[in-house]
């Protein structure tokens, strides 16, 4: 289904799938007089919940993204994210506010499988991108969100010959109405996220990011994300404070080690801290998939920052527990490993 917001006529649209019906239901709701819409959070760091969001703030978010990417009236876009969540809703709001022509595809893990149009803009999850690398060249500007973009995926993107697409990793959460900063992956690989105009960032005593974006949220948002500030508009993500592993008195950020290991191993993986009588928490590397001796041999060749940051144990899990949006649920994974021990 193609929706042209330059020449929008709801009565002429004939939805054929549940996803298309859901899309049209949201569009109808958007044009009602109510000032608010309800959004489901992902539940990746806690219990999923429903939050109430002002339409005006969603419009502000849409304008920020469209301005940053220089999207113009009449540009084309592809919607392949579920509209239950802020990611899919915001794709539609951007299309409405910037008068885009938006193709509506089912929110599958292979959104470009039966798609052949060249488009100006799209948003995907990392797993959707992983399954669409052969057609990514069709997208002029692509943003990737919903989960962290792995080093392996970045490498695969860099190996696509003659790729001219602009590809960005996003930083944000439901409370920031999708994202407040972008970092380019291709054609250039940037180290720091750049926040949108009008957003102010700072650090608390833990070096965790504070976000002041009154056009998106009336409150100052205190995150648990440890970052490094480059300047007042740019930051580097280090890891989550609530994921920190305290092993033998050493505070270890698992995301730093995961980034290192993922340069060598393509399997999904995470580091967790498991209770230990001597260390307090022992560092355990959990790898998704069947036990593989070649992977174990490869891990032995990877140089950790210090000996204390080498995994004390490596476990394989057939499948990690994930949220509805595909994020690994670390606490559930940790409990599975503890129960198996």
Q: Which residue among 240, 259, 287 closes a domain? A: 240
Same domain, 55 and 102: yes
Same domain, 293 and 225: no
Same domain, 261 and 234: no
For residues 250-257, give the mean pLDDT.
92
Q: What is the CATH number of the domain that holds 322?
A: 3.30.300.30
Same domain, 273 and 331: yes
Same domain, 155 and 28: yes
Q: Which residue among 191, 206, 240 closes a domain? A: 240
Strand locations in the chain (E): 2-4, 36-40, 50-54, 76-79, 101-104, 119-124, 139-144, 166-171, 181-186, 193-195, 200-203, 208-212, 221-231, 234-240, 245-247, 250-252, 269-276, 280-288, 313-317
In whole angstroms, what is the distance from residue 210 CA to residue 213 CA?
Answer: 10
Query: Is residue 216 within 8 Å of residue 57, measured between CB atoms?
Result: yes
Same domain, 37 and 128: yes
User: Is residue 180 within a helix (H) or strand (E), and if so which, with residue range?
Assistant: none
Q: Which of 332, 324, 287 is nearest to 147 (CA)?
A: 324
Could you give the 3-state DSSP secondary structure of residue 159? coil
In whole angstroms, what is the distance from residue 63 CA to residue 94 CA?
Answer: 7
Tell me, what's the pLDDT at 135?
Answer: 95
Same domain, 172 and 248: no
Q: Which residue among 195, 210, 240 closes a domain? A: 240
Range of the domain at 306: 244-340
For residues 149-178, give the mean pLDDT.
91
Same domain, 280 and 230: no
Q: What is the CATH number of the domain that holds 155?
A: 3.40.50.12780
pLDDT in tens, 6-26: 998 888 888 889 999 999 999
pLDDT in tens, 58-114: 999 999 999 999 999 999 999 999 898 889 999 999 999 999 999 998 888 899 999
Same domain, 280 and 188: no
Same domain, 225 and 280: no
Burial 145-182 (b: 16+ CB within 10 A, else e): bbbbbbbbbbeebeeeeeeebbbbbbbbbbbbbbbbbb
Count how many domains the chain has.
Answer: 2
Same domain, 171 and 260: no
pLDDT in tens, 110-160: 999 999 999 999 999 998 999 999 999 999 999 999 888 888 899 999 999
Same domain, 97 and 6: yes
């Amino acid at each position: 289904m193609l929706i042209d917001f330059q020449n929008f006529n709801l009565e002429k649209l004939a939805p054929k799938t549940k996803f298309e019906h859901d899309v049209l239901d949201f569009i109808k709701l958007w044009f009602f007089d109510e000032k608010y819409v309800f959004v489901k959070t992902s539940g990746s760091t806690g219990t999923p919940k429903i939050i109430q969001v002002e339409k005006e703030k969603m419009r502000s978010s849409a304008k920020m993204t469209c301005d940053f990417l220089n999207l113009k009236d009449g540009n084309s876009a592809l919607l392949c994210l579920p509209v239950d969540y802020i990611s899919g809703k915001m794709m539609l709001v951007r299309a409405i506010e910037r008068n885009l022509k938006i193709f509506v595809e089912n929110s599958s893990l292979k959104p470009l499988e039966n798609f052949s149009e060249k488009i100006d803009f799209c948003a995907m999850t990392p797993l959707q991108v992983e399954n669409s690398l052969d057609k990514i060249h069709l997208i002029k500007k692509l943003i990737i969100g919903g989960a962290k973009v792995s080093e392996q995926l970045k490498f695969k993107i860099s190996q696509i010959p003659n790729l001219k697409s602009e590809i960005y990793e996003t930083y944000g959460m439901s409370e920031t109405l999708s994202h407040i900063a972008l970092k380019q992956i291709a054609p250039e690989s940037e180290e720091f996220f750049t926040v949108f105009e009008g957003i102010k960032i700072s650090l608390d005593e833990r070096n965790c990011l504070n976000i002041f974006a009154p056009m998106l949220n009336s409150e100052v948002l205190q995150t648990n994300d440890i970052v490094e500030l480059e300047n007042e508009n740019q930051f580097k993500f280090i890891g989550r404070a609530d994921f920190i592993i305290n092993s033998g008195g050493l505070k270890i950020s698992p995301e730093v080690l995961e980034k290192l290991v993922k340069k060598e191993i393509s399997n999904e993986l995470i580091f967790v801290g498991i209770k230990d009588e001597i260390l307090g928490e022992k560092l355990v590397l959990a790898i998704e998939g069947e036990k593989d001796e070649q992977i174990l041999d490869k891990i032995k060749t990877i140089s950790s920052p210090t000996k204390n940051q080498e995994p004390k144990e490596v476990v394989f899990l057939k499948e990690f527990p994930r949220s509805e949006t595909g994020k690994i649920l670390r606490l559930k994974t940790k409990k599975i490993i503890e129960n198996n021990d």
